[in-house]
Structure 1
Amino acid sequence: MTPLLIVISVVFGIAALLTLWRIVTGPSILDRAVAADVMLTEVMCVLGADMAINHHTRSLPVLLIIAALGVFGSISIARFVARRDNTNQ
């Protein structure tokens, strides 16, 4: 493991802890959804940095799956919140 990757992992680890705190304490479901998207983005950035530093593309399918999960998860939560808001009116 290169020193640059260690520094990147520490920085993103701290960001992940802060994001996890927002997921746990978020006052609304939308705050938690945004924090979950941020967490997925952080994981993608760490994997992308690993690919760039070590000159490989083995993690590319994992990146694509994580991106798809983030998009579909955000759409699902948005539809759920929109449907819930419509029934409350």
Structure 2
Amino acid sequence: MAELLIQIAAVLIFFAILFAVIRLILGRTLVDRIVAIDALTVISLSLIALYAHVSGRFAYLDVALVYGLLSFLAVLAIARFLEKGL
């Protein structure tokens, strides 16, 4: 049963990647594209966490945590740049 749930989660993650890439390509404004990239980072964090669970190597969760923090800071920096410029 647990393996079935992991497979369902993986399929849902890959559908989310597909939809985020479509949003990235079809985004009309720069803000739409930035949100799509941020969504892709969140999706990749869930993929890293799923892989950590499947492989049993929970050190990957530390990698996901640092990646999430850097992604958050990057989005903040881009938002500040778009609002005020350099």
Give TM class, smaller chain.
0.7 to 0.9
Aligned to 1:39: 40
* Pair 1:10 & 2:7 matched: no
**5+ residue gaps, structure 1:** 85-89
1:8–1:46 contact (8 Å) kept in structure 2: no
Q: Which amino acid aligns with 1:5?
A: I
Task: Look at both structures and tell me which one has the larger radius of gyration over its CA atoms.
Answer: 1
1:5–1:50 contact (8 Å) kept in structure 2: no
After TM superposition, the score normalised by the length of structure 1 is: 0.76
- For the aligned residues, what is the CA RMSD? 1.9
SS at match of 1:73: helix
Aligned to 1:87: none
Q: Which structure is higher in RCO with an 8 Å CA cutoff and minimum separation 6?
A: 1
Count of aligned pairs? 83
Give the fraction of aligned pairs with identical amino acids, expressed as a percent. Answer: 23
